A and B are shown apart, each in its own frame.
Chain A
Amino acid sequence: GAVVSQHPSRVICKSGTSVKIECRSLDFQATTMFWYRQFPKQSLMLMATSNEGSKATYEQGVEKDKFLINHASLTLSTLTVTSAHPEDSSFYICSARGAAGATDTQYFGPGTRLTVL
């Protein structure tokens, strides 16, 4: 099946610093990429949708100036958490939508665990 990678898998940073997370579709071109956040024992919360070459669409309540999304190519999207604070600590997951074989679905990355001290 299709593969989506995320880097880094785990990051620990000090409060006030910025953290960049990369999401790559390795064997297909993703028309759309999504960024999710998951709190412990809760569902996936969609943060934003990004299409290559255009601005990301943010969900209500998500600060676009804090969570910067860049979708530079059909295989790469980045999420930058600016001036991170402890409440931003979470598990961030990206996904890429594309057709791999006969199935049009979202393929998820392995996630990035962010811990802000």
Chain B
Amino acid sequence: DQQVKQNSPSLSVQEGRISILNCDYTNSMFDYFLWYKKYPAEGPTFLISISSIKDKNEDGRFTVFLNKSAKHLSLHIVPSQPGDSAVYFCAATPNTGNQFYFGTGTSLTVIP
């Protein structure tokens, strides 16, 4: 049962434009959400996170938005750069327990 879903397996964006990656979850117990970036043959790298008490968190070019009522979060990258081309995973963790639940990833390609 996939509790965290990324319905778009891939996304292509022109350099300089905004990239929007989406993530949906089903478990209302999730209270902390994260985005990771992954290059081929490397481990994921933590990008940005958001607690359920917030609806927005911004860090440089990266902004994560959380809509708890819709059980939806999104990652905005603006402006997009070719170096942002990678697979992006969203993850969620409940307020009890240790496990992080990952989405299936979205492959972002930023076209120069």
Q: Residues of A with Cβ closer than 8 Å to B?
A: 1, 4, 6, 31-32, 34, 42-44, 46, 49, 51, 91, 93, 95, 97, 103-111, 113
Q: Contact between B43 and A1 (Cβ–Cβ < 8 Å)? A: no
Q: Residues of B with Cβ closer than 8 Å to A?
A: 32, 34, 36, 41-46, 49, 89, 91, 98-100, 102-105
Residues of B within 8 A of A91 (CB): 41
User: Given contacts A46-B102, A111-B41, could you give 10 more A-B pairs where the C-beta distance is less than 8 Å?
Assistant: A43-B89, A49-B99, A91-B41, A93-B43, A95-B44, A103-B49, A105-B34, A106-B100, A108-B43, A109-B43
A55 to chain B, nearest CB (A): 14
Q: Contact between A93 and B44 (Cβ–Cβ < 8 Å)? A: yes
Q: Which of A32, A105, A111 contacts B43 (CB 8 A)?
A: A111
B67 to chain A, nearest CB (A): 21
Knowing A43-B105, A95-B43, A109-B43 touch, does A32 contact B89 (C-beta < 8 A)?
A: no
